[in-house]
Amino acid sequence: MTKLSVNINKIATLRNARGGDRPNVVQAAKDCERFGAQGITVHPRPDERHIRYQDVYDLKPIVTTEFNIEGNPTPDFLQLVKDVKPEQVTLVPDAPDAITSNAGWDTIKHKDFLTDIISEMKDLGIRTSIFVDPVESMIEGAAIVGTDRVELYTEDYARQYHTDREAAIASYVKAAVKAQEFGIGLNAGHDLDLDNLKYLKDNLPGLLEVSIGHALICDALYFGLENTIQLYLRQLN
């Protein structure tokens, strides 16, 4: 079974656009879990343009499923993770001004850096995942640095899906097989939606978890949050 972790960043974006506390991020997380989500993902960035660091502290006591914190492992981010101790931390090589994540780690170039951080997270009992492109050598590098999981960056898959879905998924299948060979758990995320999710799930061996935010929240405007989460869960089961 592939788990659905709902990224609630866009809930915070809407709140921040007007000020105040509407919609309430904590209540949204509770509702997502109540409606069937098997995890909550947040991705705080240095400018706090959506999820704020305080949101992460506020969410920790109330998330009853898996809490996944994504982000660039800057000193401030790492301190936040150490304080909160989520079930999973996903390390993402975001530039400070990135609108959204747009590339995975070069696990060979950043071998020493990632090895040190992952070791530190493991000492705290936090499962680590690193954001990678679907490249077999990057999976091999991920095994060397000691990560528990990788999250495949699926923008390329989503972009090609409607023109040639077999070609779109080919490199992802190879990466998934390579992850299984090394005993690395497999997550996926970015631009996944109700159109392309089932095909990904059906064709990636060992897919443990997907993290979906933007498309899911957009769909919720039309279908309602509860119904939307159920629609996504059906694609995964």
| Active site positions, annotated | 43, 70, 190
Residue 145's H or E segment, with its range, is: helix 136-145
Nearest residue to 198 via CA among 227, 147, 157: 157
DSSP state, residue 216: H
* Phi, psi (rounded to 5 degrees) for 223: -105, -10
**DSSP code, position 188:** E
Q: Are 3 and 189 in contact (CB under 8 A)?
A: no
Which secondary structure element, helix H or strand E, spans residue 174, and what is its range?
helix 165-181
> Which residue, 151, 154, 155, is CA-closest to 71?
151
Of 231, 226, 222, residue with least CA distance to 195: 231
Distance CA 71, CA 74 (A): 8
Measured CA distances, 36 to 47, 185, 186 (Å): 31, 22, 21
Please, which residues bridge with residue 89 across strands? 69, 128
Alpha helices in 85-135 (DSSP H): 111-123
